[in-house]
């Protein structure tokens, strides 16, 4: 961070200056951040080049972790029962497994390395939807109120499943010779530590008085959890999501806690998207992945229509661009990169009327 | 960087726990946060776990920027104009009396004249971050709060200008220029932040805009050099512009107040962690003497200022009792960080904001009492989420 402070300051100032006309054009501010990141990043003028991005990795992990913590809100047992999210989750997983198999087969056919791990990552990408994007899309769709209310919960469920799924696989850079595929140890450690952090958080939050103090504790716990995950080379996103699930099932202060977390949702989203945009272009459709991307795009959209019976807006919540972004960022072995690419694509392609 | 994230989490967690403990005994949360940070530092040092490459300067700069931005937003121009004479008199009296007494104390303690002057300049300012800590914790936003914040903000800017002047006359290397640059950058950034914030209606978006602006200020100051006091100056000016020239300034103030306390806790926890307990203990006597001189100067300033006499003198009169029963030793130790920094002048820059904020522990206790007496802040905080 300290190597090019002025470059980052200029980038952020430009974002602030441009945000007003962007808002007046009724476009979501997060899409401006993403595009700005892309223009100034590796794919553009390279002010935010790879050397600077490396220094921002912990911030990226923290931002995605914060969003994952929020996404866990819907993983409340009573909400899940009410939303019939279990059925949706099952279908999502089914779709993901099918996508993974097809992806792996295509990758093998193309002679690419690490097909199974890449397939897993793609599967994780396929099942995820951004809850906020879903909420926004459905607000304009002619859906019954009840379904419109429940859809974001379903989206949160799928995002959570995606985070866990993606934490199962660690892939080396595409084109690398080695194929690492850690399944049980990393996932077990991540889930165990996440649950432990969640339990500690529940106990501590019961002692805290006042919303400011609660938010301070939550932030401290999130940063600590993220630091532990980075230190142990685990997925910060998945770890914080597990902690969030515990928080979501603690009835005493659930609503207050998630309302406080939501106060910093937008800064986290903006930080994530700026870095996501800056990292794009490094390995866009590397090594002949493009045919696979096209194939998978069609497959995923079809699956959404057929399996979920989705309307076009819901189906398009995972548009083709997302897959391009996903594959681009999946060349870096970070589940966080997948999540950020997902949100990035959805944000760009969704029309306006997002909350400002 | 990974290590920094982990340690930051631990420090802020310790600070939050300390703040909870302080609340339990009815002390300001920032006192507990700083004690938590200090205890973490002592514990880590005694166990030999202190990482070599731990650099919290960027984090500290960002937190100082955000908290000072919040303090600047709270300064009301209308009141400032209305009370300009009394505020100017209070700031002038405080600078003169505190500066004079501390400089005298420094000379009597055997410090060289230049160091004594710098110590005087550092201690003459009231820390807006400390007052912001109190106001944010108590959700106080009345007339007295804004007056105190305006007074402390202007006092800090005056102290910074004087500090640059002292550096200029002792080693003329363009220090005045850097202060003016801070003022200009702060004003420009204020308008840059103001433009989008005026168009926003959601609290989350406002917080994002303000946080981005604070980050830019911290980065600019970092680019100009490792000087935390420039961050503070720029951020107060930027916050002042945002808080007074925006069409929806009340909404902005409300939104930022909600996120003030966690930032204050994090700032004070990190500041506490930065204190070197060993060095502080070695100079405890000098620290207490300097602090006593400062307290005497503040009380005299309150007594001779017509506008602020009633509240401020009452509050400051509580200092001895409050100091004995609460954070007196800690405050003295904190002041000593300034003394320790002053012995190696380049480190003074870094130590200034931390020490200026930290040495306000007495003042914070007084301010809390004064605000409660003025009926601007109920001591029983309400749990509200908007």
CA-closest candidate to residue B55, choices B117, B118, B90, B3: B3
N- to C-terminal Cα separation, chain B: 34
Distance from C-alpha of B133 to C-alpha of B260, rounded to nearest angstrom: 8
Predicted confidence (pLDDT) at residue B287 exceeds the cutoff of 60: yes
Which of A28, A65, A220 should be substituted to probe chain B, the one whose Cβ sees the most B Cβ atoms within 10 Å?
A220
Mean pLDDT over B268-273 rounds to 82
Output the CA–CA distances (angstroms, integers) from residue A20 to A37, A132, A214, B104, B211, in the order listed. Answer: 17, 22, 33, 53, 16
Asked whether the beta carbons of A19 and B196 are under 8 A apart, the reply is: yes
Q: Quick check: B385 contacting A, CB < 8 Å?
A: yes
Chain B residues with CB under 8 Å of A57 CB are: 1
pLDDT confidence of residue B13: 92
Closest-CA distance, B278 to chain A, in angstroms, reads 27
User: What chain A residue is nearest to B383 in terms of C-alpha separation?
Assistant: A210
CA-closest candidate to residue A269, choices A149, A356, A146: A356
pLDDT confidence of residue A118: 59
Number of Cβ within a 10 Å radius of residue A149: 14
Q: Pick the residue with more confidence: A8 or A240?
A: A240
Quick check: A6 and B219 CB within 8 A? yes
- A295 burial (CB, 10 Å; 0-12 / 13-18 / 19+) is middle
Predicted confidence (pLDDT) at residue A239 exceeds the cutoff of 80: yes
Distance from C-alpha of A305 to C-alpha of A317, rounded to nearest angstrom: 12
Quick check: B196 and A57 CB within 8 A? no
CA-closest candidate to residue A124, choices A167, A165, A81: A165
Q: What's the alpha-carbon Rg for chain B, to the nearest Å?
A: 19
pLDDT confidence of residue A156: 59
Between chain A and chain B, the number of residue pairs with CB atoms below 8 A apart is 178
Closest-CA distance, A234 to chain B, in angstroms, reads 12
User: Could you give the dihedral angle defined by the CA atoms of residues A122, A128, A133 and A135, in that order, rounded to the nearest 10 degrees?
Assistant: 160
Least confident of A89-93, A164-168, B121-125: A164-168
CA-closest candidate to residue A106, choices A336, A239, A297, A337: A297
ipTM of the complex: 0.74
Q: Which of B5-19, B144-158, B195-209, B293-307 has the highest mean pLDDT?
A: B5-19
Number of Cβ within a 10 Å radius of residue A288: 12
What's the residue count for chain A?
A: 356
Residues 100-139 (B) with a CB less than 8 A from some CB of A: 136-137
Distance from C-alpha of A56 to C-alpha of B37, rounded to nearest angstrom: 25
Of B20, B192, B204, the CB nearest to A266: B204
Closest-CA distance, A316 to chain B, in angstroms, reads 26
Closest-CA distance, A214 to chain B, in angstroms, reads 8
Q: Quick check: B207 contacting A, CB < 8 Å?
A: yes
Asked whether the beta carbons of A192 and A233 are under 8 A apart, the reply is: no
CA-closest candidate to residue A34, choices A332, A325, A289: A325
Q: Quick check: B379 contacting A, CB < 8 Å?
A: no
Number of Cβ within a 10 Å radius of residue A70: 24
Residue B164 dihedral angles phi and psi, to the nearest 5°:
-65, -35
Q: What is the pLDDT of residues B193-205, one digit of tens each?
A: 888 777 777 777 7
Q: What is the pLDDT of residues A192-224, one digit of tens each?
A: 898 999 999 998 888 887 788 888 889 999 999
Q: What is the pLDDT of residues B311-330, one digit of tens each?
A: 454 445 444 433 433 344 45
Using DSSP's 3-state secondary structure scheme, residue B384 falls into coil
Predicted confidence (pLDDT) at residue B28 exceeds the cutoff of 50: yes
Q: What is the pLDDT of residues A38-97, one digit of tens each?
A: 777 766 677 776 666 667 777 777 887 887 788 777 777 776 666 555 666 666 566 666
**B310 DSSP 8-state letter:** I
Residue A232 dihedral angles phi and psi, to the nearest 5°:
-90, 5
Asked whether the beta carbons of A313 and A141 are under 8 A apart, the reply is: yes
Distance from C-alpha of B108 to C-alpha of B118, rounded to nearest angstrom: 15
User: What chain B residue is nearest to A257 in terms of C-alpha separation?
Assistant: B385
Mean pLDDT over A177-188 rounds to 51
Distance from C-alpha of A162 to C-alpha of A126, rounded to nearest angstrom: 8
Distance from C-alpha of B10 to C-alpha of B271, rounded to nearest angstrom: 14
Q: Which H helix or E strand runs over B320?
A: helix B319-325
Chain B residues with CB under 8 Å of A262 CB are: 204
Residues 44-73 (B) with a CB less than 8 A from some CB of A: 55, 57-58
Chain B residues with CB under 8 Å of A208 CB are: 16, 20
pTM of the model: 0.74
pLDDT confidence of residue A355: 38
CA-closest candidate to residue A129, choices A351, A354, A350: A350
Alpha helices for chain A (secondary structure H) = 5-24, 29-40, 50-55, 57-71, 77-83, 85-109, 115-127, 131-140, 145-168, 184-207, 211-231, 236-248, 254-263, 265-279, 290-308, 312-315, 320-330, 335-349
CA-closest candidate to residue B69, choices B257, B196, B251: B257
User: What chain A residue is nearest to B133 in terms of C-alpha separation?
Assistant: A212
Q: b/e map of A119-128 (b: 16 or more CB within 10 Å)?
A: bbbbbbbbbb
User: What chain B residue is nearest to A258 in terms of C-alpha separation?
Assistant: B385
N- to C-terminal Cα separation, chain A: 28
Q: Pick the residue with more confidence: B103 or A133?
A: B103
CA-closest candidate to residue B327, choices B43, B94, B30: B30
pLDDT confidence of residue A299: 59
- A184 burial (CB, 10 Å; 0-12 / 13-18 / 19+) is exposed
Q: What is the pLDDT of residues B208-226, one digit of tens each?
A: 788 888 888 888 877 766 5
Q: What's the alpha-carbon Rg for chain A, to the nearest Å?
A: 19
Distance from C-alpha of B101 to C-alpha of B104, rounded to nearest angstrom: 5
pLDDT confidence of residue B35: 82
Q: What is the pLDDT of residues B79-115, one digit of tens each?
A: 778 777 877 887 888 788 888 888 898 888 887 887 7
User: What chain A residue is nearest to B137 in terms of C-alpha separation?
Assistant: A212
What's the residue count for chain B?
A: 386
Q: What is the pLDDT of residues B327-348, one digit of tens each?
A: 444 555 555 555 555 555 444 4
Which of B7, B187, B212 should be substituted to probe chain A, the one whose Cβ sees the most A Cβ atoms within 10 Å?
B212
pLDDT, chain B, mean: 71
Distance from C-alpha of B73 to C-alpha of B256, rounded to nearest angstrom: 9
Sole residue written with tokens 């001895």: B320
Predicted confidence (pLDDT) at residue B6 exceeds the cutoff of 80: yes
Q: What is the pLDDT of residues A260-316, one digit of tens each?
A: 888 787 777 777 777 767 766 544 444 444 555 555 555 555 655 555 455 554 444
Sole residue written with tokens 């509200």: B384
User: Could you give the dihedral angle defined by the CA atoms of residues B269, A336, A133 and A71, in that order, rounded to the nearest 10 degrees?
Assistant: -60
């Amino acid at each position: 961070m300290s190597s090019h402070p002025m470059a980052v300051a200029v980038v952020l100032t430009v974002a602030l200056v441009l945000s007003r006309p962007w808002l007046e054009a009724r476009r979501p501010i997060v899409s401006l951040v993403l595009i700005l990141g892309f223009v100034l990043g590796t794919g553009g003028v390279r002010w935010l080049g790879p050397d600077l991005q490396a220094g921002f990795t912990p911030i990226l992990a923290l931002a995605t972790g914060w969003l994952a913590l929020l996404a866990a809100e819907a993983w409340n047992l009573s909400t899940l029962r009410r939303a019939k999210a279990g059925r949706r989750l099952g279908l999502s997983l089914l779709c993901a497994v099918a996508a993974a198999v097809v992806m792996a087969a295509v990758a093998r056919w193309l002679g690419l390395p690490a097909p199974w791990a890449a397939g897993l990552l793609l599967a994780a990408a396929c099942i995820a939807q951004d809850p906020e994007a879903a909420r926004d899309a459905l607000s304009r769709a002619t859906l019954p109120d009840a379904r419109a209310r429940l859809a974001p919960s379903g989206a949160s469920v799928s995002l959570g499943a995606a985070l866990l799924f993606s934490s199962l696989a660690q892939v080396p850079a595409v084109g690398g010779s080695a194929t690492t595929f850690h399944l049980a140890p990393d996932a077990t450690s991540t889930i165990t530590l996440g649950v432990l952090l969640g339990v500690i958080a529940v106990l501590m939050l019961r002692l805290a008085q006042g919303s400011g103090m609660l938010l301070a504790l939550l932030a401290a716990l999130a940063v600590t959890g993220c630091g532990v995950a980075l230190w142990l080379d685990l997925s910060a996103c998945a770890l914080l999501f597990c902690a969030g699930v515990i928080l979501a099932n603690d009835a005493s202060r659930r609503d207050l806690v998630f309302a406080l977390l939501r106060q910093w949702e937008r800064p986290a989203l903006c930080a994530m998207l700026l870095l996501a945009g800056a990292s794009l272009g490094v390995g866009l459709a590397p090594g002949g992945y493009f045919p696979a991307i096209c194939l998978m795009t069609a497959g995923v959209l079809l699956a959404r229509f057929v399996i979920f019976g989705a309307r076009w807006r819901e189906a398009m919540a995972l548009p083709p661009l997302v897959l391009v972004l996903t594959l681009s960022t999946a060349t870096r072995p970070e589940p966080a990169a997948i999540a950020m690419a997902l949100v990035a694509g959805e944000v760009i392609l969704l029309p306006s009327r997002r909350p400002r | 960087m990974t290590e920094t994230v982990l340690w930051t989490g631990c420090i802020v967690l310790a600070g939050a726990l300390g703040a909870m403990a302080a609340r339990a005994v009815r002390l300001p949360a920032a006192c507990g946060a700083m004690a938590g940070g200090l205890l973490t530092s002592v514990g880590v040092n005694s166990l030999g776990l202190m990482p070599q490459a731990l650099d919290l300067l960027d984090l500290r700069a960002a937190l100082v920027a955000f908290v000072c931005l919040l303090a600047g937003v709270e300064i009301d121009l209308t009141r400032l104009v209305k009370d300009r004479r009394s505020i100017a008199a209070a700031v002038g009296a405080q600078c003169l009396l505190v500066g004079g007494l501390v400089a005298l104390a420094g000379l009597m303690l055997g410090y060289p004249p230049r160091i004594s002057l710098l110590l005087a300049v550092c201690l003459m300012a009231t820390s807006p971050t400390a007052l912001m800590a109190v106001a944010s914790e108590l959700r106080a936003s009345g007339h007295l709060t804004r007056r105190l914040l305006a007074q402390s903000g202007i006092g800090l800017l005056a102290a910074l200008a004087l500090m640059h002047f002292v550096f200029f006359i002792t080693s003329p290397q363009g220090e005045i220029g850097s202060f003016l640059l801070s003022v200009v950058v702060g004003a420009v950034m204020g308008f840059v932040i103001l433009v989008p914030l005026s168009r926003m209606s959601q609290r989350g978006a406002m917080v994002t805009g303000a946080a981005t602006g604070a980050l830019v200020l911290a980065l600019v100051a970092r680019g100009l050099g490792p000087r935390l006091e420039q961050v503070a100056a720029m951020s107060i000016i930027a916050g002042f512009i945002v808080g007074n020239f925006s069409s929806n300034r009340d909404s902005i103030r409300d939104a930022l107040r909600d996120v003030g306390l966690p930032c204050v806790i994090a700032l004070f926890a990190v500041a506490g962690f930065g204190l070197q307990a060993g060095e502080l203990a070695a100079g405890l006597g000098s620290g207490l003497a300097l602090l006593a001189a400062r307290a005497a100067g503040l009380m005299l300033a309150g007594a001779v200022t017509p506008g602020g006499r009633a509240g401020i003198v009452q509050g400051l009169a509580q200092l001895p009792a409050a100091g004995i029963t609460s954070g007196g030793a800690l405050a003295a130790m904190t002041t000593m960080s300034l003394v320790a920094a002053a012995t190696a002048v380049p480190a003074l820059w870094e130590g200034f904001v931390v020490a200026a904020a930290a040495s306000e522990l007495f003042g914070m206790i007084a301010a809390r009492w004064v605000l409660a007496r003025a009926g601007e802040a109920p001591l029983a905080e309400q749990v509200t989420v908007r």
